[in-house]
Amino acid sequence: MTDITEAQLRQACEQGDVGRLLSLIPYAQLIGVECTRQGDEWLFCLPANKDNIGNPLLPAIHGGVIAGFMELSAAVHLLIATHAASVPKIIDFSLDYLRAGQFRDTYARCQVWRQGRRVANVAITAWQEAEAEPIATARAHFKIPAPSKPAGS
């Protein structure tokens, strides 16, 4: 996500255009991440894609794809929620797999739990058929970039 320019990031965040933001992230394009707004919340979706299968016998989504989807969702959610001027840096990511991710659409919802001056914690829940039956939960800690100083300061 470091190839995104500050101008592109600022414009997407100001407009709340998550689709545009996702189109700037090659990994989001590779695995097919989508996002829609539901009221005040963002719902991330990883559509079923044969290229994301890790175990063809079940078939099940590769665990790394699930983790990448959840981490990416958290970072994008944080960008939009904080109107950040640049991409936050991941400090730590902890994931609990609860059940196999079957070959079907997967959804994720994020919530910023704590935000200090320089660190934010994001909780992520991923599910397939019912949000009450998650396939994975995760916690991500991000270092928020310091606000940029105005010119001449």
β-pair type (41-46, 106-115) = antiparallel
Sign of the torsion angle spanned by Cα atoms 105, 124, 120, 140: negative
Per-residue pLDDT tens digits for 25-75: 899 999 999 999 888 889 999 999 999 999 999 999 999 999 999 999 999
Q: Is the domain covering 6-143 a CATH 3.40.630.30 domain? A: no
Q: What share of the chain is helix, strand, coil (3-state, %, to 5)?
A: 30, 35, 35
How far apart (Å, rounded) are the C-alpha atoms in residues 91 and 140? 8
Residue 94 CB burial class (10 angstroms; 0-12, 13-18, ≥19): exposed
Q: Indicate the domain borders of the chain.
A: 6-143
Per-residue pLDDT tens digits for 134-151: 999 999 999 987 665 554
